[in-house]
A and B are shown apart, each in its own frame.
Chain A
Amino acid sequence: MRRSRALAPIAAFLGLAVVVAVLPSFVSGFRAQQFAYVAIYLTALIGLNILTGYTGQISLGHGAFMAIGGYTTAILMVDHGVKDIWTIPVAAVVTGVVGFLFGIPALRLSGLYLALATFAVAVSMPAVIKRFEGFTGGGGGLNLFGLPELTASLEPVTVLGRELTFNDWLYYLCWTVALVGYVIAWLMLRGRTGRALRAVRDSETAAQSSGVSLPAYKTLAFGVSAAYAGVAGSLFAIATTFVNPDTFPIALSILLLVGVVVGGLGSLVGLIAGAVFIQFLPIWSQQVSKSPGAPAVVSGVVLIALMFVLPMGVAGLAARLRTLTKR
């Protein structure tokens, strides 16, 4: 039993990796690019879930952490000539440190107050970015298109003997990063750290009396979570080849929270569904109707319906199905 407990997720993960690896052969380059954005969202959702789903700290400001990651990448590429892929770890470290530091004052806040504080960060981010115009390009943003620092743009790139177009390259880059992030999160959450975080979520008092240091684990969760968002933001910049303050609107932070809730708080595998949902819902809802305001209404109705049908997200549905079939 013990062995199968460890083997099943690994088997599932390998299955996922195989599907991810072969998918571009079946879909158009453009479609592959859309799935690259799914991987980017997945990365951000894993991060947000570590904080919100596992540690119980609600964040409405992860779009701001993505902005920090995105701008780190863009500034390194434009001003310092750093190759795109090497900016990803830098973005992770920078955003991780910012997240960790933000976690310190956030220790004093809980529940709705923390949600408000993080929301404030997301709201003020565009103004902060515009304030440092010489550094960030202000409202006009930074354009990465055609920079030699991009691994692939118009010209295809050869990786491991295979020629990849920009879209396919983007797809493999984003999914590789997302899957590595997935494994790291899984390893972190299955052991001692994961137990401690869940204990903080379920009851801070109980966690403390069992010897779990609240400040240490909360700031850790903030730091790791922000680092994931930073990596996602970095990939966002590379994929879009453009960053400006409007690229990271408040709506993005809310969309990420929607993704985590739809995927299932406190679940990793459900996040794939959450990422697919937030990438494709706006596109689907446009196909339903394009009349004024209609796409937004369709998205809203789908979301409400989904919360009725799947109150615990897609992962909750899976758990429910499990108990049903066991009976």
Chain B
Amino acid sequence: MTRRIAFALTALVLTLATGVTAALAGTGRSSADPGVTPTSILLGTTSPLSGAASAYASVARGADAYFKYVNARGGVNGRKIVDTIVDDQYNPQLTVQATRQLVEQDKVFAVFNGLGTEQNLAVRDYLNANKVPQLFAASGATAFGSETAKYPYTIGLQPSYQAEGWVLGKYLARTQGAAKVAVLFQNDDYGKDLLNGFKKGIERSRVRVAAAQPYEATAPDVQSQVAKLRSSGANVFAVFATPKAAIQAYVYANKLGWKPKLSLTNAVSSASNIMQLASEGGTNKVVEGSVSIVFLKDPTDPKWKKDAAMKLYRSIMKRYAPSANANDVYHVYGMAAAWTAVEAIRKAGKNLTRDGLVKVVAAMNLSGNPFLLPGIGLKTGPGDHFPIEQMLLQRWHKGTWKSFGGIWGYRTA
């Protein structure tokens, strides 16, 4: 029986040892604002490096590659940017733990480019209460841009889902006459924001939503929803989904022999690699002619083959993320976010403080982000923490996206 005690104590000593060694690794430094030294700036990012949503990890990796590129050229105002990426498996509970680690143990200057709607919501109060900037939350939920009085330290980046839905709806209203639309949407804030924006876009037009079918983000497939949508007799198919469900929706629609006049899809699931999968080697006619919105330069678009920024993008990827697939547009998104962060930090000046940086990003008017489409600016103001509110429409034709028409703008705030 003494051995039992011995064992219990061994277990406890092991427990202790892990805690103490790990605690030693994280001794903080002291300065006016945490995370800033004369030579470095520490940022923190939560990202689904593993788990079902790990495709989004490219967002954090693209940003990290850009920071490394900037650091190699001397950094920002003499400081190098170090971005600590922590895996949260797309689970908000782990996002909370990871964010507390970044703030309390790693003592980051700001949280940057954290991914996911619920994930960012879960830490928004905590970060604002601790006056830690929540920079460019990677989510299009309206909550991150519109509640600026309550959450001054939080700012989004991409066009809100509501804006995206609105543009797609407005496009239908202007071009399709009396169309009947069948909508597949993810049953959460993300899908509902898109649907609500879409409904706003078709207000006072002859376009009607004939059927709207929700699906659960965790559902294995969307076959029954697509079958119901098909039987609604609609001639436009709108897919407001995440990539896996979007591919399934296109494939099932084709299998069921549904031939809608037009398909719409949202930006998150319209990356070229996803569309190529959905097009079943070009045989799926539901995919051909799909319309989506775009604000980033798509690395697979031949139009950008000679573009200086996309050449830079490829060289950065080659140098700092050699094993990653440079055709994955999420890397471009990450770089666009990192570019914006670098510019904001540069503007905040040599005497870098959290409040100073927040002041800069809250009244931003930047143009020339090389990873965004030409003409798309980054603008914020009082009550408006949505930096990107402009976008272009694009049409899927024979294996690539082609943008068309002028710039669309929508003010969510």
Contacts and interface: CB of A to CB of B under 8 A. Distances in A.
Contacts of A292: 49, 54, 57, 61, 323-324
Between B4, B20, B129, B189, the greatest number of chain A beta carbons within 10 A of the residue's beta carbon is seen for B4
Interface string A264-294: 0000011011001000101000100011111
Nearest to B58: A292
Contacts of B5: 8, 11-12, 15
Interface of B: 1-5, 7-9, 11-12, 14-16, 18-20, 22-23, 26, 49-51, 54, 57, 61, 85-87, 89-94, 96-97, 100-101, 104-105, 118, 121-122, 125-126, 129-130, 187-189, 216-219, 323-324
Given A143-B125, A292-B54, A15 B8 contact: yes
B55 to A, nearest CB: 9
Nearest to B220: A123
Interface in A136-160: 138-141, 143, 145-146, 153-154
A273 B130 CA distance: 33
Contacts of A247: 91-93
Between A30, A130, A146, the greatest number of chain B beta carbons within 10 A of the residue's beta carbon is seen for A30
B218 A251 contact: no
Between A15, A242, A291, the greatest number of chain B beta carbons within 10 A of the residue's beta carbon is seen for A242
Contacts of B100: 30, 33
Contacts of A250: 218
Interface of A: 4-5, 7-9, 11-12, 15-16, 19, 23, 26-31, 33-35, 37-38, 123, 126-127, 130, 138-141, 143, 145-146, 153-154, 167, 236, 240-242, 244, 246-247, 249-251, 269-270, 272-273, 276, 280, 282, 286, 290-296, 314, 318, 321-322, 325
A282 B93 CA distance: 13
Contact of B96 (A130, A241, A291): A241
Nearest to A280: B18
A195 B217 CA distance: 44
Contacts of A123: 218
A11 to B, nearest CB: 6
B16 A130 contact: no
B181 to A, nearest CB: 23
Given A141-B122, A290-B87, A26 B20 contact: yes
Contacts of B324: 292
A269 B10 CA distance: 11
B188 A269 contact: no
Nearest to A245: B218
14 contacts: A8-B4, A30-B104, A33-B100, A35-B19, A139-B187, A139-B188, A146-B125, A240-B122, A246-B93, A246-B118, A249-B218, A282-B94, A292-B54, A295-B50
Contacts of B49: 286, 290, 292, 294-295
Contacts of B86: 286
A249 B218 CA distance: 9
A9 B9 CA distance: 11
Nearest to A292: B57
Contacts of B9: 12, 15
Contacts of A30: 26, 100-101, 104-105
Contacts of B129: 145-146, 153-154
A291 B47 CA distance: 12
User: Which 9 A/B pairs are nearest by Cβ-Cβ distance?
Assistant: A139-B188, A145-B125, A8-B1, A12-B8, A30-B104, A296-B50, A318-B7, A247-B93, A242-B122
A154 B131 CA distance: 12
A244 B122 contact: yes
B23 A139 contact: no
A123 B218 CA distance: 8
Given A286-B86, A290-B87, A321 B7 contact: yes
Contact of A314 (B2, B11, B97, B218): B11
Contact of B90 (A33, A246, A322): A246
B52 to A, nearest CB: 9
Contacts of B216: 126-127, 130
B1 A28 contact: no
Contacts of A34: 19, 97
Given A127-B218, A145-B129, A242-B122, A276 B15 contact: yes
Contact of A141 (B20, B92, B97, B217): B92
